[in-house]
Structure 1
Amino acid sequence: MFKQAIYHRPKNNFAYSYDDETVHIRMRSMKTDLTNVILLHGDPYMCEDGIWQHTKKEMKYAGSDELFDYWFAEVKPPFRRLRYGFQCVSNETTAYYTERGFFDEAPGDSGAYFSFPFLNPADVFCAPHWVKETIWYQIFPERFDNGDSTLNPPGTLPWGGVPERDNYFGGDFQGIINRLDYLQELGVNGIYFTPIFKAKTNHKYDTIDYMEIDPQFGDKKILKQLVRECHKRGIKVMLDAVFNHSGYYFGPFQDVVKNGEQSIYKDWFHIRKFPLQEGETINYDAFGFEKIMPKFNTENPEVRDYLLKVAAYWIEEFDIDGWRLDVANEVDHQFWRDFRRTVRAVKPDVYILGEIWHDSMPWLNGDQFDAVMNYRFSHAVVDFFAKGAITAEEFKHEMIHILQSYPVSVNEAAFNLLGSHDTPRILTVAKENKENLMLAFLFTLSFQGSPCIYYGDEIGMTGEQDPGCRKCMIWDEEKQDRDLFQFIQKLISFRRSIPVFGNGGDFTFKYLHPALISYVKSSRNEKMLLILNPENKLIQVDIPDEFIGAVNLWTNSPFTERTSEIRQKHFLILHKK
């Protein structure tokens, strides 16, 4: 037994309260080292003759990544207190793993074991319930549709031209309102808008005024109309908050530009010295090294109060349903705790989504964000299905690692995307292989989390990195890939109508063939087997007995074959109630 690899921590993703009465416990061991793990658990105060009384529960093997196996158990402590340890079994030996190390026999003193002191409801991670049922659609407003040409900025180009970093095509709120029926037809029920506030650029990540809408999009009256129309259709609305930095022409920063060290706003920003700029060198912190995006000092009480007022205002006045937080990892944790308290006081079920591209557990303990943009998921799916850069085994390892990195409740709310305004178009990455793109969408829309579609990906739009990925939306149906649209539309309908297809079922990879991606989604009431063939060849596979007689979800017909041939770049979905 390789004890050095056995690991547990009574916090974060290894031990947490899933709901008001349930605790989830995980343990890690070296890959293929242990044959089974048994959880010893009980109330810390239950003793007989000085010996702690405990119950044993077999832990479920939850999957493997490249180096480790993961084990999982769910317990409901009757008095909400819990002490626990692990009976680790290998082919050669048995050892008892506790907070005080390893023992040959189970210790009789509860003080030796791991402690989950009390299941406090206030500590339960609670993302808004509606997020688990939401399929998002990301809109870059300047490029979605021009519905009111009277708002066009000077020099606006005809719709559909070549996007540049500094050109305009006149997208606005009226254009979005005009296309809500299209989004309803697609089936999405959440819209994430990139910034809409007054700014100098077409992307609007350089805010001039956080209390005003950019005039090219419309005014506050039409924004209220847009939100109302979305809500009538059951569509949630999430705005983009750029609180890491302002724009260069933001009033307080312009005061610093004008008055230097005498400015009353100089402590609103991270200024190293004056003058603000010497040659090409800026003497203040910014997003990256972007001169036009000076970084806020969110530890300054005046800045904090101002930004929290902004966050509350757009919820109070416009009834938005969520905030996406730009460059969230560069803002201090205390600000985000204050942010959560502020917005939840206004609307208890508002969704808080952080832009973080790496491991995000420090932000996902229930006191800051509900989710992050799950780029680690994105990279794995894109690398495998679109690029063919990793093997099926490597892909499965990464998916298991991602799932084990966070509590189940966090995974259910994760914002899973294939692309965004910051990445090349997924079809372009896939070298315009539509079959690969379809498999990527199938996996994403059947995985745990809250999936997002970047505008135009559903009709086969292409484009390299910014600005290529920010082309004008194509509205001429003759130029849209309607087959792709209908494919994604059908997947969305499955997710919205069949619980186990989405967050209503546990996810487990099932080995059927080394080249296939096969997995089971299961709940108490139903099961689903999905088999994806990413290869350029037909693969024959034996179907597990439990799925013989299930319904082929794509054809809605009974499936009775013992052996199935999965065509190249194709799939099979079997649903059993």
Structure 2
Amino acid sequence: MQIESVYHRPTDNYAYVCANGDLKIVLRTKKNDIHEVQLIAGDPYDWTEDSKGQWEWNKETAPMKLSGTDSLFDYWSITVRPPFHRLRYGFLLISQSQSIFYCEKGFYDHPLKDNGYYFCFPFVHTSDATDVPKWVQNTVWYQIFPERFANGNANNDPQGTLEWASAEPSPTNFFGGDLEGVIEHLDYLEDLGVNGLYFTPIFKATSNHKYDTVDYFEIDPQFGTKETFKKLIDECHKRGIRVMLDAVFNHSGYYFPPFQDVLKNGEASIYKDWFHIREFPIVQEPRPNYDTFAFTPFMPKFNTQNPEVKQYLLDVGRYWVKEFDIDGWRLDVANEVDHQFWREFRTAVKEIKPDLYILGEIWHDSMPWLRGDQFDSVMNYPFQTNVLDLFARKTISSRKFMENMTSVLFLYPETINKGLFNLVGSHDTPRILTECGENLDDVKQIFTLLLTYPGTPCIYYGDEIGLTGGMDPGCRKCMPWDRKLHNQELFKHIQSLISLRKKEPLLANHGSIKWEYESGLIGFRKYNQEKEVLVLINPHDRKVNVNLKSKLVRAAEWKDLLASKILQKDSSSIFIDIPAKQFIIISVQ
């Protein structure tokens, strides 16, 4: 038994409280090293005196479930509900040749009597549950880059605006997209089935992307007015569509008035401590002598520990929630802002709207931001990376893909996974159809996965109709509104998947999940005690035949959910042929 690989800590993704008061416990062991794990646990104060006057700690033993396997480790889990909300616990690890007891103080030959050696979860407080707002679990997002979605009002076009889609996008050109254009196409979005809109920045700025904010309290004039935005919010809410805005609190734009004051007045500026300026006079070339986003001199970094800066940005966060009833904030470059600022930001906005969704842009392991005091969720870029590596770049095998995806699942508590923001393309990445060499079968498989997987999925505008484009600025083309230019096959496929996700609770973050490798397919099983849903995708150029077995204890009905037809009744297993580059979604109940 390789005990060096055994790991647990009584916090974060290894021990966490669920909203209903349950406690989820996870243990990591070496892959294929241990064939059974038992949890040994009890209330720390529950002791019984025997006839000889000796005190014995009362503990119980329960089997843990093998919940996932990646390339290096097995993950075991169990859900318990301590009757008095407290728990001391350890693990009995059993292999073919030995058993070892693992607890907070180390490894022993057998379970110990003194519970002071055991892991401690001092109290299960439901207020500590890291659950996402319930509405997020049932939301399918649609990301809009406002300058390129639709031009609804030519009167607010900036100077030099080009005719819609008359040229390739560049870092500096404008085509006149605005908020009225979005309002005009809400019927289209409702028909597609999305029920959440995520806008890249809409505040006053000089660029076409608006990540260089000049005024955080004003809508950019090229997008419209506050009245237009209020109308957009109202129209969305009438249709059951939520709205999330993009906040750039890491840095301002070059023409942000306080930074302009610093450029003008130097060390005498009253705003000099709003930014991280290392010395005066200010120098911008070859590299700025003040902190910036990357090394871009036109995006100076805020000093969010400065009380005036903090108050200003917190007021921004409150303003758009209170005055316009937005439903979420997406936080740009969130990992470069200090944790204390985000704690205060969460308190400020949640006091106004408790079910507001707070989403951080973080590209790496994000557990430090997901402990219930900062963000509800983060953008799930590891999901995107693995999807592209398998379907587009074809650099990993089906098995490696599933192992990688399992690793990502166990990075965070299951409660967080329900709200992870899953994406396959955005304004920062090449178009998914372009990434796949314009192979439609690959793209359809990707969306099948995206729209059935745990989390809250997001579609980048135009991906649903086969828009192409390389890295920024190529991925920021104008949305074509001539339906003859739309790939209707892809649109209808995505539309049907969204509809299915809304109808089938197990596809919308209800129940548990486990990746399962079957004959070269990629697949996962989502399940509860009464029902299972299996999602199977064949990424290969050959047909695959697979024998599927139900985990239910009774004979069941097998149904193809996309085709809406019964495949087999009263059976615990079924043989399925999945053609090359195809997929199937099966319910078992």
TM-score w.r.t. length of structure 1: 0.98
2:539 aligns with 534
2:530 aligns with 525
CA distance in structure 1 between the partners assigned to 2:398 and 2:435 by the alignment: 18
Q: C-alpha deviations, 1:205-264, integer Å up to 9, x for none? A: 000000111000000000000000000000000000000000000010000000000000
2:168 aligns with 162
1:44 aligns with 44
CA distance in structure 1 between the partners assigned to 2:238 and 2:529 by the alignment: 33
**TM-aligned CA deviation for residue 576 of structure 1:** 2.4
Query: Does structure 2 retain, via aligned residues, the 8 Å contact 1:140–1:193?
Result: yes
Percentage identity across paired residues of the two chains? 53
CA distance in structure 1 between the partners assigned to 2:545 and 2:444 by the alignment: 21
1:293 aligns with 299
Query: Does structure 2 retain, via aligned residues, the 8 Å contact 1:139–1:194?
Result: yes
Q: C-alpha deviations, 1:468-526, integer Å up to 9, x for none? A: 0000011111010011000000000011111012201211122321x101221112332
Give the SS at the match of 1:122: helix
**TM-aligned CA deviation for residue 20 of structure 1:** 4.5
**TM-aligned CA deviation for residue 100 of structure 1:** 0.8
Match 1:565 to one of 577, 580, 589: 577
Letter aligned with residue 451 of structure 1? P
CA distance in structure 1 between the partners assigned to 2:517 and 2:425 by the alignment: 29
Give the stretch that moved more between structures: 258-267 or 42-51.
42-51
Q: How do 1:302-451 residues align onto structure 2 when only pairs under 5 Å count?
A: 302-451=308-457
Query: Does structure 2 retain, via aligned residues, the 8 Å contact 1:386–1:440?
Result: no
CA distance in structure 2 between the partners assigned to 1:276 and 1:432 by the alignment: 47
Structure 2: gaps (5+ residues): 50-54
Give the SS at the match of 1:487: helix
Aligned length: 576
Letter aligned with residue 552 of structure 1? D
**TM-aligned CA deviation for residue 28 of structure 1:** 0.5
Give the SS at the match of 2:227: helix
2:52 aligns with none
Q: Does 1:97 align with 2:102?
A: yes
Pair 1:281–1:37, CA change in 2 (3 A): same
Match 1:187 to one of 172, 186, 193: 193
2:470 aligns with 464
Give the SS at the match of 1:230: helix
Match 1:61 to one of 61, 66, 73: 66
Q: Does 1:555 align with 2:563?
A: yes
Q: Does 1:576 align with 2:588?
A: yes
Query: Does structure 1 retain, via aligned residues, the 8 Å contact 2:432–2:463?
Result: yes
CA distance in structure 1 between the partners assigned to 2:576 and 2:532 by the alignment: 19
Q: C-alpha deviations, 1:279-298, integer Å up to 9, x for none? A: 43311100001111000000
CA distance in structure 2 between the partners assigned to 1:525 and 1:315 by the alignment: 40
CA distance in structure 2 between the partners assigned to 1:192 and 1:293 by the alignment: 23
Give the stretch that moved more between structures: 125-134 or 365-374.
125-134
Structure 1: gaps (5+ residues): none
CA distance in structure 2 between the partners assigned to 1:120 and 1:490 by the alignment: 40
**TM-aligned CA deviation for residue 105 of structure 1:** 1.5
Give the SS at the match of 2:172: coil
Give the stretch that moved more between structures: 405-414 or 117-126.
117-126
CA distance in structure 2 between the partners assigned to 1:29 and 1:169 by the alignment: 55
Letter aligned with residue 116 of structure 2? G
CA distance in structure 1 between the partners assigned to 2:376 and 2:577 by the alignment: 41
Q: C-alpha deviations, 1:379-438, integer Å up to 9, x for none? A: 111111222111111101111100111000100010000010001111111111111111
Give the SS at the match of 1:277: coil
1:509 aligns with 515
2:8 aligns with 8
CA distance in structure 2 between the partners assigned to 1:31 and 1:487 by the alignment: 38
TM-score w.r.t. length of structure 2: 0.96
Letter aligned with residue 312 of structure 1? R
Give the SS at the match of 1:373: strand
Letter aligned with residue 568 of structure 1? A
2:22 aligns with 22
CA distance in structure 2 between the partners assigned to 1:294 and 1:279 by the alignment: 14
CA distance in structure 2 between the partners assigned to 1:34 and 1:327 by the alignment: 41
1:220 aligns with 226
Query: Does structure 2 retain, via aligned residues, the 8 Å contact 1:511–1:518?
Result: yes
Letter aligned with residue 378 of structure 1? Q
2:86 aligns with 81
Query: Does structure 2 retain, via aligned residues, the 8 Å contact 1:548–1:562?
Result: no
Q: Does 1:479 align with 2:491?
A: no
**TM-aligned CA deviation for residue 530 of structure 1:** 1.8
Query: Does structure 1 retain, via aligned residues, the 8 Å contact 2:287–2:295?
Result: no
Give the SS at the match of 2:281: coil
Q: C-alpha deviations, 1:292-333, integer Å up to 9, x for none? A: 100000000000000000000001110000000000000000
Give the SS at the match of 2:536: strand
Letter aligned with residue 96 of structure 2? N
**TM-aligned CA deviation for residue 278 of structure 1:** 5.4
What is the RMSD of the two structures over their aligned residues, measured on CA atoms? 1.2
Pair 1:229–1:278, CA change in 2 (3 A): closer
Q: C-alpha deviations, 1:46-105, integer Å up to 9, x for none? A: 112322111111101011111111100000001100111001000010111000111111
Q: Does 1:499 align with 2:511?
A: no
Query: Does structure 1 retain, via aligned residues, the 8 Å contact 2:284–2:297?
Result: no
Give the SS at the match of 1:512: coil
Q: C-alpha deviations, 1:127-175, integer Å up to 9, x for none? A: 2111001000000000000000001001100111210000000000000
Give the stretch that moved more between structures: 457-466 or 273-282.
273-282
Match 1:240 to one of 242, 246, 270: 246
CA distance in structure 1 between the partners assigned to 2:115 and 2:547 by the alignment: 48
